């Protein structure tokens, strides 16, 4: 009986234990179910958010597709616009260069043009050389290999200018000015007729003595004898002497003006006329006139207008490398 009671108690305890374990497992299972329900709710909320994002992406995709279709439709006119853009790009190509480089090239081109103008208009070789050297310095600062040919042409032009045999223009003008001054007093060939000065004599006292003195002075002034050699030439007046000297001065002045104009033909023509005039109307036996004639003869063969080289090649070569906008201007 006692053993049965123990068995019953053990079974009851085991039943309670199993029931408690079952309740614990049930409670634990409910907690897990609640967690799963919460996770499902969160996933559902996330799914709705994702669906909203998908709808927004779909709308954006549709908008982008419509925009692409519109752009593709606009590209049907691309060939014409591309041609226009190409022309504009060619025009604006020069502006893409740095301001410093473009300015240096423009400066060099201006200096080359200045050298050409000074050489052509004023025959100023020194200024032309300085301008070309300055242009070469501007181009050298760019360190551009495409400008090598231009710089070589500049070097050739500078060398050609330095080889020109230049006359001493300042010295020639000084010699011509001195010759003009000496021509004002050069001895003219011939006898200069001057007015006879009447001597004032004191008449003696008395009627007969006074009358005899008047008659004697009158006859003494009627005849004058003067010895003239064959080299003396004709008798000339003071006006003729002055005109001959002034004409010689005018010829020398014409030669000086021709030097300023670099007119070699007029220069030699004026000096040839002066040399001929000196030989015809001036006394070359006089040392002063002889020295003047020798100076004129020495000045006559001088070439005051030597041929000058062409210095336009460098500017043309640089102009071909300048931006297209310069050509369009």
Whether residue 227 has pLDDT greater than 80? no
- DSSP assignment of 282-307 equals B-TTSHHHHHHHHHHHHHTT--SS--
- Dihedral sign for Cα atoms in the order 171, 173, 179, 184: negative
Name the residue among 329, 178, 317, 312 with its Cα closest to residue 249: 178
Chain segment 32-81, per-residue pLDDT in tens = 877 888 887 888 887 888 888 888 888 888 888 888 777 767 666 666 76
Does residue 109 contact residue 138 with C-beta atoms inside 8 Å? no
- If one compares 214 and 238, the residue with the highest pLDDT of the two is 238
Distance (Å, whole) CA 117 – CA 130: 13
State what percent of residues in the chain have pLDDT above 70: 77
Chain segment 211-221, per-residue pLDDT in tens = 566 556 655 55
Task: Please state the separation of Cα 318 from the chain's center in Å.
Answer: 12
Distance (Å, whole) CA 201 – CA 214: 10
Mean confidence (pLDDT) of the chain: 80
- If one compares 242 and 99, the residue with the highest pLDDT of the two is 242
Indicate the CATH number for domain 90-166+309-328: 1.20.120
Distance (Å, whole) CA 123 – CA 311: 12
All structural domains of the chain with their residue ranges: 90-166+309-328, 169-195+233-299
pLDDT, residue 74, reads 67
pLDDT, residue 298, reads 94
pLDDT, residue 33, reads 79
Chain segment 97-138, per-residue pLDDT in tens = 567 777 888 889 999 999 989 888 888 888 999 999 999 999
pLDDT, residue 325, reads 39
H or E element: which one contains 104? Answer: helix 99-117
The reply to whether the predicted model has a pTM over 0.95 is: no
Does residue 248 contact residue 109 with C-beta atoms inside 8 Å? no
pLDDT, residue 42, reads 83
Extended strands (E) in the chain: 191-193, 235-237
Quote the DSSP letter at residue 48.
H
- If one compares 13 and 316, the residue with the highest pLDDT of the two is 316
Distance (Å, whole) CA 317 – CA 322: 9
SS3 191: strand
Chain segment 161-210, per-residue pLDDT in tens = 999 888 888 999 999 999 999 999 999 987 876 555 455 456 566 555 66
């Amino acid at each position: 009986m006692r053993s049965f009671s123990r068995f019953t108690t053990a079974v009851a305890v085991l039943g309670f234990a199993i029931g408690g374990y079952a309740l614990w497992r049930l409670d634990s299972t409910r907690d897990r179910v609640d967690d799963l329900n919460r996770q499902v709710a969160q996933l559902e909320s996330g799914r709705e958010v994702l669906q909203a994002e998908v709808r927004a992406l779909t709308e954006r995709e549709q908008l982008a597709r419509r925009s692409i279709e519109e752009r593709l439709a606009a590209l049907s006119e691309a060939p014409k616009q591309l041609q226009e853009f190409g022309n504009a790009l060619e025009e604006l190509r020069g502006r893409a260069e740095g301001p410093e480089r473009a300015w240096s090239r423009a400066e060099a081109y201006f200096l080359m043009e200045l050298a050409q103008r000074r050489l052509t208009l004023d025959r100023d070789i020194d200024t032309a050389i300085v301008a070309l050297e300055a242009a070469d310095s501007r181009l050298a600062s760019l360190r551009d290999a495409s400008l090598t040919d231009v710089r070589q042409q500049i070097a050739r032009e500078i060398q050609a200018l330095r080889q020109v045999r230049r006359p001493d223009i300042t010295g020639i003008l000084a010699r011509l000015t001195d010759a003009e001054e000496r021509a004002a007093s050069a001895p003219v060939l011939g006898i200069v007729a001057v007015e006879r000065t009447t001597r004032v004599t004191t008449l003696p006292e008395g009627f007969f003595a006074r009358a005899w003195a008047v008659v004697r002075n009158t006859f003494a002034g009627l005849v004058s004898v003067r010895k003239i050699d064959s080299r003396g030439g004709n008798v000339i007046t003071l006006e003729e002497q002055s005109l001959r000297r002034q004409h010689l001065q005018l010829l020398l002045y014409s030669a000086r003006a021709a030097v300023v104009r670099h007119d070699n033909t007029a220069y030699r023509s004026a000096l040839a006329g002066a040399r001929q005039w000196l030989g015809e109307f001036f006394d070359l036996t006089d040392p002063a006139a002889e020295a003047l004639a020798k100076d004129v003869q020495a000045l006559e063969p001088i070439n005051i207008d030597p041929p000058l080289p062409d210095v336009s090649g460098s500017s043309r070569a640089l102009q071909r490398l300048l931006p297209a906008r310069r050509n369009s201007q």
